[in-house]
Amino acid sequence: MKPIRKQRLLLILLMLAGLSLAAFFALKAFNENLMYFFSTSDVVAGKAPNNTVFRLGGMVVKGSVQRPNADLLVRFKLSDFSQEVAVEYSGILPDLFREGQGIVAKGRLDGRGVFVAEEVLAKHDENYMPPEVAGSLKKPAEQP
């Protein structure tokens, strides 16, 4: 390689290294802000903001979904498999909402420590399979 080309190549590699470093520090600084939602453990540990709207993500705990009245109000618990948070929501739930499903809710904590949601979005997982396969995968786990 001619010296001038080697120099240019070196310059480009240096530029890329510098940029990656800059991007790394910028992303590290903004790490908190880039999180789309808080986990339930964060909320229990008091990391989530008080009196302001934030997003909470987690799995809908099996058997926790209740509809106390005939209206749209629904109560359920969210969990990240270590801590649980109670959620209240009044509105139409997405089609994928069900027990055991991951969801992201937007809202705020009230005085009782209950998360009052204004919006509920469903998160779907990265697994794709035919219903028969999903059925046969579930069976052994559900047997007592």
Partner 1 sequence: MSWIPAPVSRFFHRTSSPPHFYALADRFIPWLTAIFLLLLGAGLYGGLYLAPTDYQQGDSYRIIYIHVPAAWMSLFVYVMMAIMGGIALVWRMKLAEVMLISSAPIGAGFTFVALVTGSLWGKPMWGTWWVWDARLTSELILLFLYLGVISLYGAIEDKRSAARAVSILALVGVVNIPIIHYSVEWWNTLHQPATVSKLDKPSIHITMLVPLLLMAIAFKFYYLIAVLQAAKLELLKRETSSQWVKNMLEKQA
Sites of contact with partner 1 (CB under 8 A): 1, 5, 8-9, 12, 15-16, 19-20, 23, 27, 31, 34-39, 57, 94-96, 104, 119-135
Taking the CA atoms of residue 38, residue 40, residue 46 and residue 48 in that order, the dihedral angle to the nearest 10 degrees is: 20
Of the pair 71, 126, the CB lying nearest partner 1 is at 126
Q: Is 89 labelled as part of a ligand binding site?
A: no
Of the pair 63, 135, the CB lying nearest partner 1 is at 135
Q: How far is the CB of 18 from partner 1 (least distance, A)?
A: 10
Q: How far is the CB of 69 from partner 1 (least distance, A)?
A: 23
Are 101 and 59 contacting, i.e. CB atoms less than 8 angstroms apart? yes
Give the separation between CA 12 and CA 118, rounded to whole angstroms.
49
Q: How far is the CB of 4 from partner 1 (least distance, A)?
A: 9
Of the pair 105, 109, the CB lying nearest partner 1 is at 105
Largest Cα–Cα separation, the chain:
80
Q: Which two tokens stand for residue 2?
A: 């001619």
User: For 94, which DSSP code?
Assistant: P
Q: How far is the CB of 111 from partner 1 (least distance, A)?
A: 26
Q: Is 124 labelled as part of a ligand binding site?
A: yes
Of the pair 18, 113, the CB lying nearest partner 1 is at 18
Q: Is 33 exposed, middle or buried (0-12, 13-18, 19+ CB in 10 A)?
A: exposed
Are 142 and 134 contacting, i.e. CB atoms less than 8 angstroms apart? no
Q: Specify binding-site residues for heme.
A: 124, 128
Binding positions are 124, 128
